[in-house]
Structure 1
């Protein structure tokens, strides 16, 4: 069990790739490929397990397949088409990051993956790579899954478990657009809890104890309440204040992992869908 800090934009404790018996869970963005390869020491991973297809979790996957053409990549069925043809994903994300140039500067290249490399998941699978169970866990994204490593009883939860920068317990629920679903997120946390894990592997960032599931639910409720009573500027200023108080010297890592304007945008979009 190894947490690999891929050091996004040179900063520690922003994005974590997990390695479990040669399997990589959420290998990170394309821009951190060299850091990841150095950590692997040139060794080919057995497989990639993607919790979801957002750039910070999955962006480097196609580049790794290009390097190792027989590398299998596990991804939910809703996300699989975008890994084969990432053009729509990149166009959508470009609107958040200042166009194609800004997108590539922040996240790097996203290389298409041949369909033959994809192992498409629905949720409910067992014995993935001989050791993992899978649950479909929407809420942060409609294509999100979590993985339970049965030998160790660790759950690898992507963004469903929230963002927490150790050693601080302060937690942010990552709520970027376009498909935040608060009620689905709560149900997904319950699915992870039903595994009775001994520990959680977070992409942002590192190991957490099971009580992190309580923290992310509390964070989600707090952010929903904050978004509902103010505009984006008020939301961003308040979240910035809370993060700096809760994360201390690691506040910039949290803000980089969970851009504050996007937290508001995702919740505002969710509220609009509800007609609230």
Structure 2
């Protein structure tokens, strides 16, 4: 039997916020992005409802190490010491010792980090399988190819399975709750890089997947149209952020303007009850911080070039 199932982790009690993909292939099991430690109990229940236990898992496939995607990994390894954890080489040190990852996250969520993400336990180095891109992972008869897809994060990879043509893209193609047409950027600091992101879009499209699986949330059936919409919006949000930073008198004013502008845009595309779902899932305030950081880096680079050539 070969199946791909969406497990809803019900993050913070919200359905369709964080999804874990369960891959079954002739009695072999892997999950893509196990989610944060705070949803571990729900993940166990979701697996159990499909007749699978944590002890049955052969592999955890991490698209990247952000806590909402990978925070539960150490706890799962403690429960199942034989499970292999696939992660990009830049993320691997932070799985072995998550202290810097947690310190960085605490700066973004100073008041409620534990409530949001729970505990992030270390992963023993012996469990890690280090990726750079272009590897092939075997899950029973299923082959899963790995591509390096930075832009959202420097340690981001995507996985392409060969039976159903599904690409597991993490946050590389944004946030789109299954059943809605709107695709929203998620651009938290510190790694946002639009030129790298554009190259990742090309890397995904050249493999011609039939469907995308987004951790936030679920399947998208037309990869080329999805990526075209997302790429256009991502660059437009970047340009909007640059304009806001030039006009605003303070960082606080810039943040408020960005939030109001993007909430209004989202509201043009989605029912009112879904707007808050998208805003909370993507962390709209964090998207501003990531875009602003990238905008300032671009401005500094342009100023340096101008100074050199003048």
TM-score by length of 1: 0.96
Between the aligned partners of 2:162 and 2:149, the Cα distance in structure 1 is: 18
Q: Does residue 1:247 correspond to 2:270, yes or no?
A: yes
Residue equivalent to 1:153: 165
Q: Does residue 1:47 correspond to 2:59, yes or no?
A: yes
The total of aligned residue pairs comes to: 274
Contact 1:75 1:120 survives alignment (8 Å) = yes
- Residue by residue over 1:116-169, the C-alpha shift from the partner in whole angstroms, topping out at 9 and shown as x without a partner, is 000000101023435100000000000000000012111000000110113211
Q: Does residue 1:224 correspond to 2:247, yes or no?
A: no
Between the aligned partners of 1:270 and 1:221, the Cα distance in structure 2 is: 12
Find runs of 4+ consecutive structure 1 residues off by over 6 angstroms: none
Residue equivalent to 1:65: 77
> Where do 5+ consecutive residues of structure 2 fail to align?
245-253, 303-310
> Where do 5+ consecutive residues of structure 1 fail to align?
none
Query: Which secondary structure state, in structure 2, belongs to the residue aligned with residue 48 of structure 1?
Result: strand
TM-score by length of 2: 0.86
Q: CA deviation at 1:69?
A: 1.1
- Residue by residue over 1:218-250, the C-alpha shift from the partner in whole angstroms, topping out at 9 and shown as x without a partner, is 220121121111122111111112223322122
Q: CA deviation at 1:252?
A: 2.1
Q: Does residue 1:30 correspond to 2:53, yes or no?
A: no
Contact 1:3 1:17 survives alignment (8 Å) = yes
RMSD: 1.2
Query: Which secondary structure state, in structure 2, belongs to the residue aligned with residue 56 of structure 1?
Result: helix
Contact 1:62 1:110 survives alignment (8 Å) = yes
Question: Which one of 118, 124, 141 corresponds to residue 108 of structure 1?
Answer: 118
Query: Which secondary structure state, in structure 1, belongs to the residue aligned with residue 136 of structure 2?
Result: coil
